[in-house]
Structure 1
Amino acid sequence: MARADFYLITTPRFRTEPLRLVCELARKAFDAGLPTLVLARSQEQAEALDDLLWDMGDEVYIPHQIAGAEEDEDEAEVLIAAPDVDAALRPLVINLRDAAVEGAFDRVLEVVPADESARGPLRERWKQYQARGLELKKHDM
């Protein structure tokens, strides 16, 4: 059964740098051997994530790239897609966009902003995933 995990940003560390949480989630996925697609909400966000994934510490290397940039994107464990790029879904999807993810995947991770006013669309998404029969989980980060 497919699953949707909602990660609520609550700690000061992730409040100041929400994309760090995305990097941590990508790292966990990579460690678990799960090919991951990150749906960024803009080209700028995709590039910021790309930079942050290079900056995870000396011991950490996560093979990643921005979709549409090169031919060998199948080899990247973590693929970051800007909205104007059509990237195939992977078993694990980290969704940073406003719309629920359509299509087939094993798990979708939704990052919930600390800002209460930004949580409305995520409540809608929770209901959409629920209606599609996904197993739902919530995590405070």
Structure 2
Amino acid sequence: MTQVDFYILEPHAAGDRYQLACRIAEKARRAGNRVLIHTQASAESQHVDGLLWTLWEQGFVPHGLLGSADRAINPILIGDGHQDEDEHEVLINLATEVPTFFSRFDRLIECVDHDETVKAESRKRFRFYREHGYPMATHNIS
């Protein structure tokens, strides 16, 4: 059964859920996992792609856009996961809805920032996962 983790930026924490998703994706990649960052729109995917190019000055984070990147050399993929059936390790959800395909992943990560709309939508997803019996954890990020 998929482990669901909510990473919540505390009120005084810097950044947003996109930057948080990038940091978590890189940490998961370093741990040897393949990561899919699920987005709702192409513009959102492009934004995350840009962040992964510029977030760390010390080095390159291997990543690419779903459907155009070579999977063999890109352990982090970004895009609408509905169109992908190859990834099964870590899913980072940036969409407002529960991804219908999340249960094929070992782990699902939900990133929550200070935006009130994002918080409200994440509460709905939290209730869904809890009501369906998924193992869950919450991590407050300062």
Q: TM-score range by the shorter chain?
A: 0.7 to 0.9
Q: Which runs of 5+ in 1 are unaligned?
A: none
Flag the 1:58–1:112 CA change in 2: closer, same or farther, 3 A: closer
- Please name the residue that 2:47 is paired with: 48
CA RMSD of aligned residues (A): 2.0
1: CA distance between counterparts of 2:114 and 2:37? 20
After alignment, is 43-52 or 57-66 more displaced?
57-66
TM-score by length of 1: 0.85
Matching residue's letter, 2:5: D
- Please name the residue that 1:31 is paired with: 30
Runs of 4+ in 1 over 3 A off after TM superposition: none
- Please name the residue that 1:76 is paired with: 74
TM-score by length of 2: 0.84
- Please name the residue that 2:19 is paired with: 20
Q: Which runs of 5+ in 2 are unaligned?
A: none
Q: Report the Cα offset of residue 2 of structure 1.
A: 2.1
> Given that residues 9 and 112 in structure 2 are in contact (C-alpha distance below 8 angstroms), is that contact kept between their aligned partners in structure 1?
yes
| Equivalences for residues 61-140 of structure 1 within 5 A | 61-70=60-69, 72-82=70-80, 86-88=83-85, 89-101=87-99, 102=101, 103-140=103-140
2: CA distance between counterparts of 1:29 and 1:129? 22
Number of aligned pairs?
Answer: 137
> Given that residues 62 and 77 in structure 1 are in contact (C-alpha distance below 8 angstroms), is that contact kept between their aligned partners in structure 2?
no
Matching residue's letter, 2:14: R
> Given that residues 62 and 74 in structure 2 are in contact (C-alpha distance below 8 angstroms), is that contact kept between their aligned partners in structure 1?
yes
Matching residue's letter, 2:129: Y
Identity percentage of aligned residues: 27
